Structures are given as C-alpha cells and as structure tokens.
Amino acid sequence: MPRAVVIGLGTISKVHLAAIDALPEVELVGAATHDYHKLLDEVRPDVAHVCTPHDTHADIVADCLDRGVNVLLEKPVADTVEAAERVIAAAARAPGLKVGVCLQNRYNAAVQAARKVITPGAAKRTPDATAKAPNLSATATLLWHRDSGYYASAPWRGQKKRAGGGVLINQAIHTLDLLEWLLGDVTGVSGHVGHYGEVDAIDVEDTANARLTHAGGGTSVLFATTTNAVDSPVTIEIVTGDATLLIRDGLTITHRDGRVEHVAERRAGPGSKSYWGASHELLIADFYRTLHDPGPFWIDPAEGTKSLRLIDQLYRR
C-alpha cells in the first residue's frame, strides 16, 4: 500500500486530500506546510503531493527525489523555465522514481472525446500527437474573476517573483496545455499580457491574449482574463475539416452533414469548483495505478514544461 504525504495545505490541497481518501489502496500518513524535510525523514513516504507556491517546487521535488520519494506536483512545474529545467534534471537523475504533473484537464471527458475525433485512435498516454491538417484551428477563452480577497488570502499569487506571473501561469496554463495537446506541438507564439483590472496590489498580469502556430499548419488563439465579473466555464472551439467541436461544460460536436453529438462532463469532485474541471481525482488515481510501471508518468516534468515554455515566450515579448 503506497504511503502518501501532502506538502502544502492551501486551497488545492483539499482536492488532493479528497482524492487520496477516495483511494482505498493509498494511505495518507502526513501533511506539512513548512517543515517538510522533517516530515519526509520521519514518515518516509512513497509519494509526496506537492501543493506549495510555484517558486518552491524545484527545491521540494529535488529533496523528495533525493530521499527516494515519488512526486505528484501541482502545476506549473515551477515559477520559471529555468527552475522547471532543474525539476526535469532532478527527475532524470532518479529514473526509478515517478514525477507527475497535475495537468488534469487532459482527463476531462470532453477533452478525451475531442482528442479521439481530432486524432483517431489516439490513446490518452500519447502526449506527442501532432495535427497534420492545415485547416485545423481553435479559439479558447478563460473568463474568470479574481478580486483583492483572492490575492490577500495568499499574497504570493500576485507576486511575479514567487508565482512567476498571473493569469497565464496560474489559471490559463491548463488551456494552453490543451491547445497544444489537441492541435499539436507549438512552433510559433505571439501575443501580449497586461494588467487592466481594479486590483492594484499585484505585479502580475490579469489579462492575456495569444496566437499559436502548430506543427502541420494549424493555428489557435487564446484570450484569458481574471477581470471578468464571474467565473465562466472555459471554452475551446476547434474547427476541423469535418466538424466543429465546442468544449464548454461538456463537448458538442457539430458534423458537416448536420449531425450533432454531445458528451457530458463529469461533476466536480469534493473540494473542486465546477469551472476548474473535474479530473484531479482521475489523474491522481492514474498516477497511483501506474506507480510501479516502467518508465515515466505520461505527464512528466518535461511534458508539463511545454506550456510553461509558451508562457515564458509571451512574458518575454
């Protein structure tokens, strides 16, 4: 029976704790907010769930792997690409251990169904599918609300030196990941970021737009903001040669011949919010199910850093 600990007890840790509790084959043996070294040394777990601020990820992952502990890491891999590369290197030095990254929206029912339409026969553990149709295109929106209370409850979120950025790295990273996973590797990035909302005590962006070029000629555009009045469902619309796929609270496929198909999304689990998606539990269960399989977890630090590299390019513009 794998023995698990949770490092970091902020908002997202509730989802991890609920997911662990739902797995009878996994035993929760501890949690820590600050002194995780003592926890690791005294408890000697098999898996550590890292749910801490972004700028702490690289050091914690390295410390866990040095102690022979597998890691399930909340997104992003780190606050910067340079720090993420340290995580990738640490994982490479410990090939017998698993490091998974929580890009859980890949497990959403709508996303899985859309991927099968776009890439027939694709399995969810094939991270490198590349779109070959030049007329494949997508638009995506993330329209959420984050007020001053959100940043006051965890001030690091509004600090670039700790979070690495704002809406792109903390919220829209999931949507960027899906655009690349569904349409293929990104070969070109353009866009802008800005701070347009009424929350002043932050130095990170609250709004961003991006245009991505994908291998094979496909394109996608993204608009993301945390200045919306409410938390609306994330929307991704994909146009193929044969159909239009709309991901929003499920998937609607409108075929060129007029047929319409619907795929319902799963309900959000305990501690989750509906606009987050409902698949943390699935990813966590999959991580434990494959814990002793040979090879890395399918969403490992190298795979998880792809979206961070896109974000870094936008921040550098």
**288 or 271: whose pLDDT is higher?**
288
Q: Is residue 283 part of a domain?
A: no
pLDDT at 267: 79
Of 81, 103, 125, the residue that ends a domain is: 103
Q: Are residues 88 and 189 in the same domain?
A: no
- pLDDT bin (cut points 50, 70, 90) of residue 266 is confident
Residue position matching structure tokens 């959100």: 150
CB atoms within 10 A of CB 196: 9
Burial of 73 per CB tally in 10 Å (0-12, 13-18, 19+): buried
Calculate mean pLDDT across residues 266-293: 82
**190 or 123: whose pLDDT is higher?**
190
CA distance 94 to 227: 42
Q: Is 249 left (phi over 0), alpha (psi -120 to 50) or beta?
A: left
Least confident of 185-199, 268-282, 294-308: 268-282
Residues 37-95 have pLDDT tens digits of: 999 999 999 999 999 999 999 999 999 999 999 999 999 999 999 999 999 999 999 99
Q: Are 15 and 269 in contact (CB under 8 A)?
A: yes
- pLDDT bin (cut points 50, 70, 90) of residue 278 is confident
Asked if pLDDT for residue 132 goes beyond 50, the answer is: no
Into how many domains does the chain fold?
Answer: 2
CA dihedral 129, 132, 134, 137 (to 10 degrees): -30
Q: Are residues 214 and 189 in the same domain?
A: yes
Residues 142-172 have pLDDT tens digits of: 999 999 999 999 999 999 999 999 999 999 9
pLDDT at 131: 43
Q: Are residues 196 and 270 in the same domain?
A: yes
Q: Are residues 125 and 239 in the same domain?
A: yes
Q: Are residues 139 and 54 in the same domain?
A: no
pLDDT at 127: 52
Q: Are residues 311 and 190 in the same domain?
A: yes
Residue 14, domain CATH: 3.40.50.720
Cβ-proximal residues to 149 (8 Å cutoff; 6+ apart), any chain: none
CB atoms within 10 A of CB 273: 11
Of 63, 85, 103, the residue that ends a domain is: 103
* Whole-number Cα distances in Å, 222 to 8, 104, 227, 236, 309: 31, 19, 15, 9, 16
Asked if pLDDT for residue 123 goes beyond 50, the answer is: no
Q: Is residue 163 part of a domain?
A: yes
DSSP bridge partners of 219: 137, 213
275 three-state secondary structure = helix
Residues 191-245 have pLDDT tens digits of: 999 999 999 999 999 999 999 999 988 999 999 999 999 999 999 999 998 999 9
Burial of 282 per CB tally in 10 Å (0-12, 13-18, 19+): buried
Q: Are residues 36 and 84 in the same domain?
A: yes
Residue 78 φ/ψ, nearest 5 degrees: -160, 180
Q: Are residues 131 and 85 in the same domain?
A: no
Least confident of 45-49, 128-132, 224-228, 266-270: 128-132
Q: Is residue 288 part of a domain?
A: no
Q: Is residue 64 part of a domain?
A: yes
Which residue range is the domain that position 96 belongs to? 3-103
Q: Is residue 286 part of a domain?
A: no
Percent of the chain whose predicted confidence (pLDDT) is above 70: 92
DSSP element (H, E) containing 89 = helix 81-92
Asked if pLDDT for residue 96 goes beyond 90, the answer is: yes
Q: Are residues 127 and 88 in the same domain?
A: no
**121 or 24: whose pLDDT is higher?**
24
Of 88, 103, 118, the residue that ends a domain is: 103
Percent of the chain whose predicted confidence (pLDDT) is above 90: 88
On average, the pLDDT of the chain sits at 93
Q: Are residues 96 and 116 in the same domain?
A: no
